[in-house]
Each structure stands twice: as C-alpha cells, then as structure tokens.
Chains A and B, each alone.
Chain A
C-alpha cells in the first residue's frame, strides 16, 4: 500500500506546526521521521491518522485522494497510529482495551476476542494477560497492546510516535523485532523519533523536519553528520561543564522511603554537596520525580531522614524548604508551575513579599518588564501565561528563581525545548553554580546529562542503582544501567 502526503499545512494560531510538508511511504518500508522537539513530527502524523484536521493539503492512498475527518476514517483506509502519550483506558482490562473500537452492538463477544488476542500477542512474543487492568502495565506493554489492537483492526500503515522514550532496553529490542516482522509482511511503518541511533538500526528511509518544513529525505545507510545538519539550524555546541570544586553537604537523605509515581522511592541514601550539578537518569517515572518532590518538601516521605544544611526537614512544608533555600521547578509547567488565567505581572505579584495586605501592582509590573527583558521572554506583561510557548513558559519559571538559592531541584528543565533554548537555559543555570548553588535535575536525554552534570545518579524501579562522577562513565554504560542491567 502506498501513501502520499502533499503540501500539508497545520496551523495553530500563529504557530505553523506543519508548513507545506510532502511525504510518501511504500508498502513494506520502515520510514523514519526525524526532527528536533517541536519540529512538527507528531502534528504531521496526527494529520495522517485523522486525529487532527489539516489546515490544507492533500492525502492520497494508492492514488485515491482521501479526506480523514476522524481516526475512524483513517483506520478504514488501513492507517493507524500509536500516539506519543498512549491513548488507552487505565481502569479497563487489557481485553476491554483490545475490544474497544472493534466491537459494537449487544452481543457478548469477550471469549471470541480473548481467543483472537492470545495467539496474536504470542506471534510477536509479547505476553499480555487479558484480564489484568491496563493500569498495572508498563509503558512498553501498553504500547504492545495498542499495536496488537491496531493490527487486529487490519492496519497496513502503522505510525509510532517516539515509541522508544520510556521503555526498557529489552522491550525496545522486542518492539524493533516486531516492526521488522511487520515490514517483512508487507506493512509500512512510520517511526517518529529524534534519536538517530533508533533510525540507524531500523529504517530504510528517513524524512527530516525542521520548524514544520521538510529539510531532507535520505536512504539507508544514513550519514549522521548530514542528518544533524538537516535537523538543526546550527550544530548544537554543548555548554562545557565547568569544574566545580564541591564544598560541604547541602542536602542529605538517608533510608528515605516514599510512595507516589509508578514505583515510589525505596531506601534512598544520598548526599549533595555545595556547587555540585547532579543529573538524575532513568526511565520516565523510575523514582526521579518522587525524589525531587521529597527533596523539595512537596511530598512527605513515609520514613527516613531528609536534612538540609544538617537541619532535619521531616514533616516540614514546602514553604519551610523554600525558606531554607530549596527551590523546585517541575516539568509540567501549566499543571504544576504556572497558573493559567493569570498574566505574567500577576505571577510576579504572587512572588512578591508575602507580608503586605495590599498588592503593589506598580512594583509587580516593573519586575515583569525587567525579567521579560532579561530572560528574552516573547510575551507582554499582561499576556496570560497559557498563551506563551513552552520554551517561554520555561524561561518565565526560571525567571522566578530567587537571587541566590542554595539548592535548585529541576525536573526535566529542557523538556520540549528546542536545542537553542535548551542551551540558553543551561548557560543561565550555570551562572548559579558559579555562585556556588547546587543543582539537581532529571532528564530523559542521556546526552544532556552527560554533557552538563558533574555527578550522575541512575534510577531504576525507585532505587538508585548507580552513582558515578560524569567523567568516569559514558552514555552506553548508563543506558544499560537505566534498563536495570548492572
């Protein structure tokens, strides 16, 4: 089966997520879609899968022009997508999730679909228990379930949006094997990723996007250097790690146990010294998030001791942590960091001295103006924060950081930022370390961690399985640790 995309446009307000993209996929090929964050990969594929409506452009399947008003229409044409954040039903059983969308009417067909599911999953040597609720599955297993469902409704073009983020090495191997097999069976696979190595091992062809435009096609084997050129405007020049001379302990945890996240936190013992930059590696939700929240007093541990500057902080509120010089910046900006509905000025007013009864609007306004200037935030003092782009939201959050914090706890500080903004962020953060502030940050990008951290902690299933100085290790070793193989 052959799919053609011509001059696809998708605009969100002023943002041109896709700006005249052309793409064609043959049967039996594995086609990689490359590009930095925000390049428009997901958008393009969502258009193809009918999940969002394109602003303009044409899609043809086997020479026949089609108009996808909903995912249903797309899957009728044999096109199905595995979304970046899985769209499944946590509270329903595996079997329910499998059946949903293919069954209808009143007839109880569970047993039929049970018989259909089991062989299919063994065929790709996935193992899924039909009766277990999806909430008990790992990201990888949820992907497997979704793939099986798509196949069983007769998908011939399978789209996967960054399937390799947040799954273990083994699962990654199983997945790749399955995809290769699909290709052999004549199905086409579209694989979104911004990880070169994935495409290297898997794809026969790649298309590279940058800022919503196609910047190149290439057949395997790929020239990495050239791909990078096409992905990024100017090649990322990593901010060099500056050699901090660690002083005495600022944060210490001993035998801290806490709930939350997928895994919780188990028997965590660490010390963080002044001026140190500590990177937290690990799969999504392996305990880093919980760690940062416990360390910042956002959530309270079940047991164990947390000390800041040698003072025990057990049972203290986040505010008291703040007073002790600990600052936390969460990933999901609009959920945890900023207040939708309030504008930039109001945020600064919120940050101002708490003692006054009346708000000094004039002060807040000038503060807003100043920081917008300083942090190159593209927005006006009166523009509501939800209207800012992700990068600018992140800049705004960083602009709230106090003058000289003792300890900065950052969760995925560069998530969703394009490379320039990411580097800008790091250069800014390093001005703090210069002032002998300690930074602890988590990131999904190993390279980033290796690049800026002095010391690296690897989380696996809520435990710290590795604690090394950055210069004593490399991303391959870390990669294995992340997958739990030490």
Chain B
C-alpha cells in the first residue's frame, strides 16, 4: 500500500498536482457521461442537478455538511490504521457501535434533569464503543492472525445484526417494531442546532478538531512516527524496541474512536434515534475518501466535502430525471480508480524516460 508522507507541496509540485487532477477529472467525466448515455439520460442536466442539489441553497449546503462531518471523522480515523498498513474495513461497524453506545447513554438520560450531561457522556460512550469494537478486530488480527479485512467485515455484519435486534427487540417502540428505528428522543436530548438549517455547529467543530489532532499526531508525535515505521517494516521496528502489535491495536482504537463519535453524531445530531442504517455507509465511503486523498490528512476534508456533495446532490436524479441516485457511488469509484491509474501512468512514464536516457548514455 502506498503510504504518502506528509510533505508541504512546493509550487512545482502544486502545478503537477493540478495537471494530473485535471487529467483524472476528464477521464472520470468521460466515463460517467458514457454511463449516463447508456442509461439514456441527458448528462449535462444530470451534472447540473447534482450541483444545484448540493450547493444550490443554504439548506442544501447544510445537508452536505451533515454528510461531511461523519465522512471527515471516519477519514481522520482511517489515517491511523492506513499509516500502520491496516485495512480497517470494520470502520462501518465501528460507526454503528458508536451509535449503539450513544443511544444507550441517551436512553439512560431520558428522564433526567440534566440531559446535557448525558448528551456529553454519549460522546465518550460512543468513542469507547467504537474503539472496543475496533479492538476486537485488532486482537483477531494480532493474536488470532485473522486478516483484518475479513475480521472487520464480519464484525460489520454482526454490528448490523445487533442494531436490528435492539430495534426489533429490547428497544422497539411500544407495540410496533419497524425499520424506522427506535422511539425518537425528546428535543432536550438533541444536539443543539441552528433551527433554520437543522445543523449543529458542535458537529462541525468536532470534525475540524479531529482533522487537526490527526495532523499533529501523525506529523509531530512519536506515535505517528512509530505507526509510519511499523507500516513500513514491522520486523525491523522490533530492533528499535517497538512492539508492532501494540501500535496496531492503538491505531485501531483511534480509528474506532473517531468512527464511534461519527456514529454518536448520527444519533444525537441527525436522526435523533437509532435506526438500522444509522451508519449510512459512511465508513466504507470514508475508505474511498482517504484513498483518493492519497492518505494525506490535509486533503481528506476537501475530498470528503466533494463526496458529500455527490451524495446529497444525487438525490435530485430520481426526482428530476427518474435515474437511480447510485450514480454518485459510480462517480466516486471512478474518481479513485482514475487517480490510481493516472499516478501509475506517471510512474511508468518516468521509468521509460529514464531507460531511454540511459540507452543514450551507454551508446
């Protein structure tokens, strides 16, 4: 896996970056347009509606931000696991467990005088829940030697099952059991929000701090360095007196913790209840975000914002063009693939160039 080190881009690099980004974008646009044509849809309208549907009004932008927050949180968390070379696919389940723990705490606070306390507590609980869930996968990897991808994936399905059981069982609404989730929480247990936009500043703040903390940790802290080193060559790190497995677990905890907080925000900030799809695939999507950001913490928030726009805007497709909104996913996937292809292509071109020059030298 390519682990990018965090380098401050100089003007030349920036120019190259822009050029490659342009190339990538054209590739993607061509591909998506093709797909749209296959589906017999007017491409330009499609793009237009997605744009309008995501940035067309303040309300829409607030929806985008609602999606941006969990994506960024998960993205930040994933940077730790990617650093040490772990594929934390289990992040989806970690979001869910965060949501479950948050719901549990809020339920305890249902008829207490100080709801705010429980609201605050729910974040800690969520981080804990996500972290523990991640630890399970971590131990399966370090102690049991189970590939983290399968461990994580399995845990995701288990978490999903757990949520369903809670919703249809212990936490079901009186009489009814329905996919629409548990009984909605009273306003007092909602995360405070700007009523006109139904958007809570606290959530935004959390996401931003997550990014900053991660940046500092990875760049300046010893832990960050160790993660990178172990990711590069865990065997050698033993010589430097490090214990790779410990750091793996640590990284998993970080990822799980951030994911858990994202889950908590989904409950207390967005849905105000627990529902089966509480994680909304943000975990999986965050994996793409981080890949597309080339594992660079500063790029993550922007990519996350872009992806959020696609997600929110694509709801216009079924409304205006009778298309399925899953086009968003197609575009996101295509973007990542195209980036990989372009960077690889650059690498090859460099190699070929070198070879030619050497031939010239030799002759």
**Residues of A with C-beta under 8 A to B3:** 341
Binary contact track A244-265/B, C-beta < 8 Å → 1, others 0: 0000000000000000000000
Give bound CA distance, A319 to B226, whole Å: 15
Q: Are A337 and B362 in contact (CB under 8 A)?
A: no
Interface residues of A in 301-348 (CB under 8 A from B): 317-319, 322, 328, 330, 334-342, 346
Determine if A349 is an interface residue (Cβ-Cβ < 8 Å).
Answer: yes
- Known contacts A13-B354, A55-B359, A339-B236, A318 near B241 by CB under 8 Å: yes
Give bound CA distance, A298 to B243, whole Å: 12
**Residues of A with C-beta under 8 A to B358:** 11, 55
Which residue of chain B is the closest to A317 with respect to CB atoms?
Answer: B243
Give bound CA distance, A41 to B234, whole Å: 33
**Residues of A with C-beta under 8 A to B235:** 335-336
Determine if B228 is an interface residue (Cβ-Cβ < 8 Å).
Answer: yes
**Residues of B with C-beta under 8 A to A318:** 238-239, 241
The 8 Å CB contact of A338, one of B226, B236, B238, is B236
**Residues of B with C-beta under 8 A to A359:** 220-222, 224-225
Determine if A476 is an interface residue (Cβ-Cβ < 8 Å).
Answer: no
**Residues of A with C-beta under 8 A to B225:** 346, 349-350, 359
Q: Are A9 and B362 in contact (CB under 8 A)?
A: yes
Determine if B278 is an interface residue (Cβ-Cβ < 8 Å).
Answer: no
**Residues of A with C-beta under 8 A to B238:** 298, 318
- Known contacts A339-B237, A358-B221, A56 near B232 by CB under 8 Å: no
Q: Are A319 and B241 in contact (CB under 8 A)?
A: yes
Determine if A112 is an interface residue (Cβ-Cβ < 8 Å).
Answer: no
**Residues of A with C-beta under 8 A to B26:** none
Q: Are A337 and B236 in contact (CB under 8 A)?
A: yes
Interface residues of B in 170-215 (CB under 8 A from A): none
Binary contact track B108-140/A, C-beta < 8 Å → 1, others 0: 000000000000000000000000000000000
Q: Are B228 and A341 in contact (CB under 8 A)?
A: yes
**Residues of B with C-beta under 8 A to A330:** 239
Q: Are A358 and B220 in contact (CB under 8 A)?
A: yes
Determine if B353 is an interface residue (Cβ-Cβ < 8 Å).
Answer: no
- Secondary structure type dominating chain B contacts: helix
Determine if B326 is an interface residue (Cβ-Cβ < 8 Å).
Answer: no
**Residues of B with C-beta under 8 A to A357:** 221-223
Could you count the A-B residue pairs with CB atoms below 8 Å apart for me: how many are there?
76
Give bound CA distance, A322 to B243, whole Å: 14
Interface residues on A, range: 20 to 34
Distance in Å: Cβ of A47 to nearest Cβ of chain B: 13
The 8 Å CB contact of A336, one of B229, B232, B236, is B236
Give bound CA distance, A241 to B3, whole Å: 46
Determine if B361 is an interface residue (Cβ-Cβ < 8 Å).
Answer: yes
Give bound CA distance, A354 to B226, whole Å: 10
**Residues of B with C-beta under 8 A to A55:** 355, 358-359, 362
Determine if A70 is an interface residue (Cβ-Cβ < 8 Å).
Answer: no
The 8 Å CB contact of A322, one of B226, B228, B231, B241, is B241
Give bound CA distance, A318 to B243, whole Å: 10
Distance in Å: Cβ of B7 to nearest Cβ of chain A: 10
Give bound CA distance, A337 to B361, whole Å: 35
Determine if A363 is an interface residue (Cβ-Cβ < 8 Å).
Answer: no
**Residues of A with C-beta under 8 A to B229:** 339, 342, 346, 350
Which residue of chain B is the closest to A335 with respect to CB atoms?
Answer: B235
The 8 Å CB contact of B239, one of A334, A337, A346, is A337
Determine if A174 is an interface residue (Cβ-Cβ < 8 Å).
Answer: no
Determine if A356 is an interface residue (Cβ-Cβ < 8 Å).
Answer: yes
Give bound CA distance, A328 to B241, whole Å: 11
**Residues of B with C-beta under 8 A to A298:** 238-239
Determine if A351 is an interface residue (Cβ-Cβ < 8 Å).
Answer: yes
**Residues of B with C-beta under 8 A to A350:** 225-226, 229, 237, 240
Q: Are A336 and B241 in contact (CB under 8 A)?
A: no
Q: Are B226 and A56 in contact (CB under 8 A)?
A: no
Give bound CA distance, A358 to B226, whole Å: 11
Determine if B143 is an interface residue (Cβ-Cβ < 8 Å).
Answer: no
Distance in Å: Cβ of B291 to nearest Cβ of chain A: 17
Give bound CA distance, A349 to B5, whole Å: 15
Give bound CA distance, A359 to B6, whole Å: 15
Determine if B363 is an interface residue (Cβ-Cβ < 8 Å).
Answer: yes
**Residues of B with C-beta under 8 A to A336:** 235-236, 239
- What are the 4 tightest A-B residue pairs by CB atom distance, in nearest-first order? A56-B362, A341-B232, A9-B362, A339-B232
Q: Chain A residues in contact with chain B, CB under 8 A?
A: 9, 11, 13, 55-57, 298, 317-319, 322, 328, 330, 334-342, 346, 349-351, 354, 356-359, 361
21 A-B contacts (beta carbon < 8 Å): A11-B361, A13-B354, A56-B362, A322-B241, A328-B239, A334-B233, A339-B232, A339-B233, A339-B236, A341-B5, A341-B228, A342-B228, A346-B225, A346-B228, A349-B225, A350-B226, A350-B229, A350-B237, A354-B241, A358-B220, A359-B220
